[in-house]
Each structure stands twice: as C-alpha cells, then as structure tokens.
Amino acid sequence: MERRVVLLCDRGGGAGGEVTLTVLRAARTLDARNRTGVRLHGSRKQEHIDICLREDVRSATTTGLEAYRLVHQPLPEMALADVDASTRFLGHPLQAPLLLSAMTGGVEEARHINRRLATAAQALGLAMGLGSQRAGLEDPALMATYQVRDIAPDILLLANLGAVQLNYGYGLDQCRRAVESVGADALVLHLNPLHEAVQPGGNTNFGGLLAKIEALCRDLGAPVIVKEVGWGLSAEAALALQGVGVAALDVAGAGGTSWSEVERYRSVSEADAEVARAFCGWGTPTAEALVGARRACPDTPLIASGGITNGVQAALCLALGADLVGLAQAVLPAAAESEEAVVERTRTVVRQLRTAMFCTGARTLAALDATRVYPRSQTIP
C-alpha cells in the first residue's frame, strides 16, 4: 500500500522543485517493523540500494570543487605514457589513488555488487571499502555478502563498522571479527550522527566515542580509519581523531549522496519526511572539508570522498591534499549491472585522472600538489 506526498525541496540556487516522495505504508511497513532485528537490518540495506539506484538523493549542496581549477600546462614536456599514477596507502601499493568506497552488504544483491567492485579493484590495482558489516556480525550467514578475497587477493581491502556501535555492545572482539572474517587490511569506523537521527530506530548515543576509538586504535592490531558518510569531517574532529591514533581519515564531504534524503524516501510518516527534508543541503562540502582537514592534520593520510564523479575531480582533490580519492555513487549503477560495466566505468576514471596529470605537467602524484591548483576567484600568476 502506498501513499504519495509532494514536498518542496530546495536543490540549491534558491530554486524550489517538486520532489515526489513515496511513503511506504501499511502492509510493507508493519511487516518490516515486526521482523527480527537482523532481518530488518537486511531489509533496510536492500531499500538503501534500491533508493540510491532509482531516486535522486544527491545533496542540495555541491562538493565545492567547482571553486577550484587545475592549471593547464600546454607544454608538459613529457608523453602521456610517462604519467605514473601509482602510490602507496597504509603501506599497500596501488596502481592509482582510487578507492571504490564503502557501499553495501548484508543482502544478496549486495554480494553481487561487492564482488563486481572487487573484480574492478583487482583488475586495476585499486583499493576497496566494504559497507557496514553489522548485519554479517549479527548473522554470520550474511558475512558471505562481504567476502571478496577469493577474487581479489591483492587489493587493499577495508572492513567497515559504525563507530556508534561501540556504544551499543560492540567492542574489540566484534571489530576483530569484522576485519578477520573478510581478510581486510584495515578497519573503517564511520561516523553518521545525522543518518542515525533521521533513521527509524537509529542509534543516537554518540557520547564518549573518542576514548573508545583511542582504545581500539591501540588494541586492534590493524590500522583504524575514521570516516564521515557524506556530511564532512570538521577540522576539529579531524584533529581530535588524529590525536587518538587513527591511521587515516576520510573526510566524506557533502555534495554526493545525502543519507538524510535516502531516509526521506524511507519515511513512514509525513512528519519523519519533513524532519529529513530540512537537511537536504546539510554538511561541509567535500573541498572545504578536505582543505580544513589537511590544514589541521598536515601529516595524516587523507581520503577525499563525497560526490566525486570523474578523474578530473579526483585530480583536484589530490592537488588539494588528498592521498586517496573515494568513489561510491559514481560506480554503483555500473556495479549493479555487471563486472564488465564497473571495470569499464572505473577504467574511465583512471584515464581521466592520468590525462589531468598529463595536462598539468604532473608526471607523478607527488608533483600533483598545491602549485597545480588555484581558486577560480584568483588570477593565476
């Protein structure tokens, strides 16, 4: 049973547009709410995939990258073939500084998506992040939806859990299981207070997490990375996390998928939808979060993600201080289609990045630095 509600959502620039919201009601909602916790979690994950593939859930703000430009070098003094985009992240070699970022898990479609992403990462020498493994920890049978080591033995693989779960019964044992069950090289803890606040039944106690993250960094025996999920790490948070020993940070800024918009589509009442709708433009844009984190933490490895759709934007992020660039929604439709589609889509991004390096005269990633990028408001000297 469905009820259709029309809401007005500001999509930037002051222009309002009608967004038709499908509020799923009655039978589906009551059935879902009466399931066990694990099955409800899986149902939510499938809904997240469906909504991200079918609806416009972009943030009403932009990444902020449009405020910058790479300096074109018409005399690069090298051949395109001379460009070397390889790097190392957390000691792991990569053929390009790209991360197929945390997306999904816990349902059958997620298993196919993860394995297609892993195939692309293995073929192109990239890193890959898994979606939250909470479903797999609560139901070990679901951990198979995250397992990709058999087809991607060489990739940098990142396990994933919500940091807030450290306040809901999770500890060192669960974090170790998340890493070991998939053969991951590091653990990502994601911070998502807004998502939890607008999600039905969300876990909203974020108090005292910093001390628990510090203990985990000390005792886990694997690198711990902390990331936002699309509203951006503040410089203050980045500095605090650096201080407790995290191995790297993912700024995950605003400008891409907005999880409050995803939850708006999942809302079961007009009131819930209205709360979520107010945050469609919330967050720190990716470029701003990246620049702020780099200033606050000059020596900490940084991942830039949040609305990155092509290799030119990736090159901008690298010039602004990122060590790695994450792609999520940009490759999700291809990953939902086939192995061939996601490999081709990702290969295109790599080609775009290499071409941007060539046309800025940056032979290596070390040369793709702040001297290659300027604010658009500033005249290039």
- In tens digits, the chain (381 residues) has pLDDT values of 333 333 333 333 333 333 333 333 333 333 333 334 444 555 777 888 888 888 889 999 999 999 999 999 999 999 999 999 999 999 999 999 999 997 788 888 899 999 999 999 999 999 999 999 999 999 999 999 999 999 999 999 999 999 999 999 999 999 999 999 999 999 999 999 999 999 999 999 999 999 999 999 999 999 999 999 999 999 999 999 999 999 999 999 999 999 999 999 998 899 999 999 999 999 999 999 999 999 999 999 999 999 999 999 999 999 999 999 999 999 999 999 999 999 999 999 999 999 999 999 999 999 999 999 999 987 766
Whole-number pLDDT of residue 379:
73
Q: How many CB atoms lie within 10 A of CB 364?
A: 13
Whole-number pLDDT of residue 103:
76
Whole-number pLDDT of residue 34:
35
Question: Considering the entire predicted model, what is its pTM?
Answer: 0.88
Q: Which of 3.20.20.70, 3.30.230.10, 3.40.50.300, 3.90.700.10 would CATH assign to domain 2-375?
A: 3.20.20.70
Q: How many residues does the chain have?
A: 381
Whole-number pLDDT of residue 42:
59
Phi/psi at 17 (5° precision): -140, 150
DSSP string, 148-203: -TTT-TTSEEEEEEEGGGGGTT--HHHHHHHHHTTT-SEEEEE--HHHHHHSTT--
d(CA 19, CA 240): 38
